[in-house]
Amino acid sequence: MSRIATPRRLAAAAATAAALAAIPATATAWNSGGSSWGGYDGGASVTAFAQPLKIPSVLQPSRTDATTDYYNVSIQAGTANIIPGKTTPIWGYNGQFPGPTIVATKGRPVSVHMTNNLGEAMSTHLHGGHTPSIYDGLPNDLVAFGASKDYNYPSTESARTMWYHDHAVDVTARHVWNGLAGFYLIKDPQEAALNLPSGNYDVPLMLMNRAFSSDGSMPYQDGSGDVMLVNGVPLPYFKVEARKYRFRILNASNDDFYNLSLSNSQAMIQVANEGGLLPSPVSRTAVSLTPAERADVVIDFSKVAVGTSIKLSSGSGWRSGGDVMRFDVVARTSTDTSTVPSTLRGPMTPLNISGAPTRTFTLDRGYGSDGRWQINGHGYNTSIYDAQPKLGGTEVWTFQNNTGDDHPLHVHDVNFQVLSVNGSAPKGADASWKETVNVPSRGTVKVAARFDDHTGTYVFHCHRLEHEDNMMMTQFKVIP
């Protein structure tokens, strides 16, 4: 439940004022009517592969009982050592960038007591969670400065890589840019029985593109960065043993698309996406990720000579090219008993769409002074519901993109099956459960979803965060 800010809590604003002022709070041009590039001199100097990869800490429960794990998290200002010799003011969960990782077990609920110790209203969304509407982190379900909210997550999802991030209306992009993002991992016995690489060989990689000034500050740049961060470290190196590793790769950039490959042209074996385990492994020499998409891949470094380094890079493209990180292969120090079985989740059973309601959603942009992004001809409006699916029902949704930009659409609360992209059946990892799908420029994507867990209000939106804020987002309501 939310708590009202008391005079004592409000008085604490003075304690964070200096840290808040150090982070430029420039809104996008749509929100402010002005430039969002102020305060940036582009003078930060970064040497590739000079710093080791850091692994986000795993948050420990504040308490547990017979059914539930409880966590306390503070949204607060902090600092990070990102640019060598500089201190970067950030906003972070528990003051960390990225935030601490929460590890949950399927079937065991999690309750996160989230306290807002920053000077702006916040809303925390568990991205990929099948969560009651009241705990989904809707854009207008805001937690005021000094107040708290308990986010209760049922943990009904199968094993998968998820993340939590801010979702406050109109300012999500800036809040995430400032550091409000962290991993949330679900484990289950089915996945554990597969004997995939685990423990120290199961490594989360959060990709974020950011911009830094010469003083080390990270002023918001409308999602446009020129320094690749992995787990908050610019272009890191990571010492790996000559064995198999599982990497949980998350594209947490505001507006960047990645096409990842290894410099030795070795294949990565994808075992999961944002919808959980794939039916079977998919061998890929290139892994494409739009904002918010995830890919869990296994890389077998036993195929690489000890003492060799290989780079993970992104193909050329708009704000997406260049190196990401480097793997330095060292001698094996343990026996590798992990496996990648030929069957992971088993064949995906297609949803029965015979007689299912069909809906079409158009993605457009306004004209003239109101050049905002739109869904079905309007921006985000809490009085408009563009769909009201019935609980337990299946629907077929078509996303028609009438713009010259790609739009990765994320649907809250449910997973869906992609039926077609520009009329063609999906391939590889996309032929599995999804919750974010890229709708290509001037293209069409058709999906099927079953609304089988919760009633209430949810949203779907473009996950290019500046598009979401400006206003490519709309509501749907699951009704009894």
Q: pLDDT confidence of 317, banded at 50, 70, 90?
A: low
Instruction: For the chain, give the mean pLDDT.
Output: 91
Buried b / exposed e over 67-94, threshold 16 CB at 10 Å, is eebbbebbbbbbbbebbeebebbbbbbb
Distance set, CA 314 to CA 262, 269, 301, 443 (Å): 9, 17, 19, 24
Whether the predicted pLDDT of 17 surpasses 50: no
The yes-or-no verdict on residue 15 having pLDDT over 50 is no
Report domain extents, the chain. Answer: 7-190, 199-330, 358-478
| Integer Cα distance of 221 and 24 in angstroms | 10
Model pLDDT for residues 102-142, shown as the tens digit of each residue: 999 999 999 999 999 999 999 999 999 999 999 999 999 99
Count CA within 13 A, CB hemisphere, residue 473.
Answer: 26
User: In the prediction, which pLDDT does 321 show?
Assistant: 75
pLDDT tens per residue across span 146-194: 999 999 999 999 999 999 999 999 999 999 999 999 999 999 999 999 9
Q: Say how many C-beta atoms besides its own lie within 10 A of residue 389's C-beta.
A: 22
Q: Is the pLDDT assigned to residue 19 strictly greater than 80? A: no
Domain 358-478 sits in which CATH superfamily? Cupredoxins -  blue copper proteins (2.60.40.420)
Is 413's pLDDT higher than 90? yes
Please say whether the beta carbons of 469 and 30 come within 8 A.
Answer: yes
Assess whether the region 7-190 and the region 199-330 belong to the same CATH fold. Answer: yes
> Angle at Cα 155 formed by Cα 149 and Cα 160, nearest 5°?
115
Q: Average pLDDT in the 207-216 region? A: 95
The CATH topology of domain 7-190 is Immunoglobulin-like (2.60.40)
Give the pairing type, strands 322-330 and 88-93: unpaired
Half-sphere exposure of 195 (CA within 13 A, CB side): 7
Q: Please compute the mean of the pLDDT values over residues 358-387 and round it to a whole number.
A: 92
pLDDT for position 177: 98
Which residues touch 470 (CB under 8 Å, ≥6 apart)? 28, 30, 31, 170, 372, 373, 379
pLDDT for residue 7? 31
pLDDT exceeds cutoff 60 at 36: no
Q: How confident is the model at residue 318 (pLDDT cuts 50, 70, 90)?
A: low
**Can you identify the CATH homologous superfamily of domain 199-330?**
Cupredoxins -  blue copper proteins (2.60.40.420)
